[in-house]
Chains A and B, each alone.
Chain A
Amino acid sequence: MSKIKRGKNIVSVPSSLDYLKEVDEFVETRLKSAGLDENKLADVAISVAEAVTNAVVHGNKCNLKKRVQVELKIESPRIIIKVQDQGNGFDPQNIGSPLEGNNVLKEAGRGIFILKSLMDEVDFSFEPEGGTVVRMVKYIKK
């Protein structure tokens, strides 16, 4: 199985953070044609890095036999990104706030909070055969 699979709107990588750079290059290359300003482009790139990190580490538990797929569509006036893993899912309601008490200085637990802060819409769905899909939307002009 090839390590990185690329399509026009899709990139798929094995479950290792070693491939974050390739995913980021795919995202930034696609976004440069979308007319996003630099700050919004960074918001999307950071959010994709967060979602892919979660998918690799928490979803697929760094199992290299499992993959993470990123789909990016530019449907003006918005950019829609889906990040899908092959893990067992999680309860989005069961995630503590990184802003509460001692959580501020915890080393982990900010990923979902950050992507919710930087993107205009974020939702989670769970595939019947396993796998979490994080769907994120950024409006090009807002």
Chain B
Amino acid sequence: MDFTVNEKNGVMVISPQGKIMGGPDATKLHDKLLELISQDKKRIVIDLSQVDWMNSTGLSILISAFIAIRDNQGELKLANVTERIGKLLEITRLTKVFEKFESVEKAVQSFG
């Protein structure tokens, strides 16, 4: 699993690629998200279009970042949630926690 970080109209867009399942790669993603939040980035979109699947470690990373940015008066949103990840969010009842958009552009625009 690798990831890229881009800024679009003041919104940080994180795009992981591959499987988010724990281990050193997942730790790097988690650390990067927390680093951005500690740098006072208040608008983050995670683009899931290139994520094959994630397990509970991936969900933990999303939740940890969601809570950290919310506590910092910011927002984290998801874009391109695949059917497979959507199913995981559904069975863990996290689907109502995260705001989801069908594209990165729409997620970025939603910040206004």
Contact = CB atoms under 8 A, between A and B. Distances in A.
Interface of A: 17-21, 24, 39, 42, 45-46, 49-50, 53, 98-99, 104-108, 110-111, 113-114, 117
A105 B63 contact: yes
B23 interface: yes
A104 B92 contact: yes
Interface string B95-108: 00100000000000
A99 B60 contact: no
B56 A104 contact: no
Interface string B69-92: 000000000000000100010011
A107 B97 contact: no
6 A-B pairs with the lowest CB-CB distances in the bound complex, closest first: A110-B56, A49-B21, A17-B23, A107-B60, A49-B55, A17-B22
A53 B22 contact: yes
A24 B19 contact: yes
Contact of B52 (A20, A21, A42, A114): A42
Contacts of A113: 91-92
A114 B55 contact: yes
Nearest to B70: A105
B92 A50 contact: no
A98 B22 contact: no
B55 A104 contact: no
B53 interface: yes
B66 to A, nearest CB: 8
Contact of B55 (A46, A98, A99, A106): A46
Given A107-B63, A113-B92, 5 more contacts: A49-B22, A50-B55, A53-B56, A105-B63, A105-B66
Interface in B1-56: 19, 21-25, 52-56
B60 A105 contact: no
